[in-house]
Amino acid sequence: MRSETLADMVDSTEPTSRESEAVVEHGIIRQADGVYAALGSLGKVFHSAVDRVFETGNYFAGINYPLFIRLLYGIGPELPATTPDSPMVRFASHIVPFEPARQALYKALKIENGTAAYYFEPVFLEDGEGPYGAEAPAQLTVDEFIADMWNKGVRFGIDVPAVRAAIASAKSERVIVARRLDASPGRDAVIQEVTDGIHRSDAPRQMANGKLDLMSFQNRFPQIKEKVRLLHKVPRKLGVGGFEMSGLPIEPAIPADVDLNKLAGLGMRVENTEDGEFLVSTMSGFLSVDTASGQLSVGAKIVSHEGVSTRTTGNLQLTGDYEEFGEIQERRVVEGESITVHADVFGNVISRGGTVILNNNLVGGSAVNARGDIRIKGVVSSATVQAAMGEVTIGRAENCLITGTRVTVEHAVNCQIMAEVLTIGQAEGCSVAARTVNIGSAGPRRQVEMVVYALVPDNDKINDVIEQVRERVGTFEQLAAQKQAELDRLQNEPDVRKYVMLASKIRKNELTLTAEQVPQFQRMATAVGPQLKAIGKLSLEVKAAQAEAKSGSDLVAQLVEQKNATAGASSVEIRELLGEVQVRTMRFNPDGSSVHHMPPKDIRARLLSGQVLGERIAGGSAGAVRWTTAAETQSA
């Protein structure tokens, strides 16, 4: 095929078949049946080729404008199917010259607010015939209009149906002929919950009797299992770009993204699967959500920053450890294993067997632990602290009731304290009782006296029981001896001894009786029958008496062991008396139960009512006190 210029390839009349194919511009190919775009040259190459056709005074006749826009900008109908041998798309019939006289028929546009308006009115062409020329009516065409708009900068968004309708109407009117295509917004990435397990239920808890507990929530702290999908990230969807009428692209805003990794706390991980991106638990435990960051965590311990109140959590009955950074308000109850509270506590903390740690103050409430320690770093005021089988450590306590196996208080004021081992740095106006008392300084507080009780076992009852059991053991031993003596007498009678000996040899096959001897042996058995019956009865009575004596002896040994276990030395040491202090004994029943594990009202009654005042063993208003059950009282 010979090379031709663009002017050579532009039809001024109907196309001929002199050329089966000609390259007009790189990317635009003219064939006998129309003008094609090479799909391999779309983009900037095709755009430049189109621009070259228009700026050289030509236009596309019979143009398929929607397809033309698709080839230029990728917006519009799908491209028709092509073959590998001919990857081209027909978008126009011809390329023809745009005569200057025709170009003069097209007027200026009014462009504003993303639209282009054109004023359509009758048009005329100059007629060269005649001495002075004349004007002949003319008509605009859609193909020329598209070319004229291109050269005036409107290269996208022409409303071809509106233009065609305006030309056909021959009315004088202003018509919107082109519009900008705004970008379509995308969709932000979102997080979806894929399990109900992360939801709290603040509905009132239903009790076993069917009634509702209005002070407790149904499920304030959800518990989940390992390998459970909690959250699903729905990826963001990018928007679709638009175009100005000039053909310049309008980029859509970038949708917001979400990073699941920022939501993965302890016990969580992010998994990417065929189904998408998920936040998955890596262990079983309690779920906690950081309200500030939205981070989810799973742990064996519940961690809360909201405090405990009627509004936030209600009363809590938990199956694991609990850590609280907010306040526990008045009359609210937190029950669990190990409990740690970093703020003030005005309610009630109950542990079933962990460690209770209060890093601030306990005011007006209580801290109770069935099988563990209690440690309070702040001030305890008008509160109850009880560790049935554990140690209590307090900095300062005022107007409190405190019990524990071992109690240590740095400064106690107007308190009632009972323990097995009690250590106080400074005590004022307190009533305290323990097996071992160690106080740095003690004295009254205003009108409240200071009383110290040394707990000593009351062995009178157990001694009486031991004596009674011993007497019973002696009685049965004596009875057994009497029955044994009578048994021995019967067994030593000659006839009985002879019969027992013969019967024993016969049973052992050491002796075989003849036919004549059998009747004689039978007569012998009949003769000693009453004695043998009496021997059997006495033998049973001896064994019964011996068993009763043995049981009594075992009980005595057990009671003695119990008595010895509680018979350790009781002691009181007060290194400095700062006013009148009474030191007395207080007896307790050494039955193996805890001396301090009693209801608060019973402890107050024992310490304050004077019901169990023992003997006065020391006292004074100055000096020191050192006393033990093994030594005489020493007062300085």
pLDDT at 532: 77
Please report which confidence band the pLDDT of residue 292 belongs to, taking 50, 70 and 90 as the band edges: confident
pLDDT at 593: 63
pLDDT tens-digit map of 126-146: 765 545 556 788 999 999 999
pLDDT at 130: 47
pLDDT at 392: 96
The average pLDDT across 476-486 equals 84
Provide the residue type at 199 as one letter.
Answer: H
454 close to 438: Cβ distance less than 8 angstroms: no
Distance CA 291, CA 278 (A): 20
Q: What does 464-519 look like in DSSP terms, one character per residue?
A: HHHHHHHHHHHHHHHHHHHHHHHHHHHHTSHHHHHHHHHHHHHHTTS----TTHHH
159 close to 178: Cβ distance less than 8 angstroms: yes
The average pLDDT across 567-593 equals 83
Highest mean pLDDT: which of 66-80, 295-309, 617-631?
66-80
pLDDT at 18: 37
Instruction: Provide the CB-side half-sphere exposure for 274 (13 A, CA).
Output: 0
Distance CA 177, CA 161 (A): 9
Please report which confidence band the pLDDT of residue 298 belongs to, taking 50, 70 and 90 as the band edges: confident
pLDDT tens-digit map of 493-544: 787 777 777 777 777 777 777 777 778 777 777 777 787 788 788 888 888 8
Please report which confidence band the pLDDT of residue 632 belongs to, taking 50, 70 and 90 as the band edges: very low
Which has the higher per-residue pLDDT, 266 or 19?
Answer: 266
pLDDT tens-digit map of 57-70: 999 999 999 999 99
Distance CA 456, CA 218 (A): 48
pLDDT at 197: 64
pLDDT tens-digit map of 321-335: 888 899 999 988 998
pTM (predicted TM-score):
0.55
Nearest CA-CA partner of 348 in 372, 374, 311: 374
pLDDT at 366: 95
Distance CA 333, CA 205 (A): 14
pLDDT tens-digit map of 223-242: 778 888 889 999 999 999 99
Above 60 in pLDDT, residue 396?
Answer: yes
The average pLDDT across 466-491 equals 83
Please report which confidence band the pLDDT of residue 15 belongs to, taking 50, 70 and 90 as the band edges: very low
Average pLDDT of the residues of the chain: 83
pLDDT at 533: 82
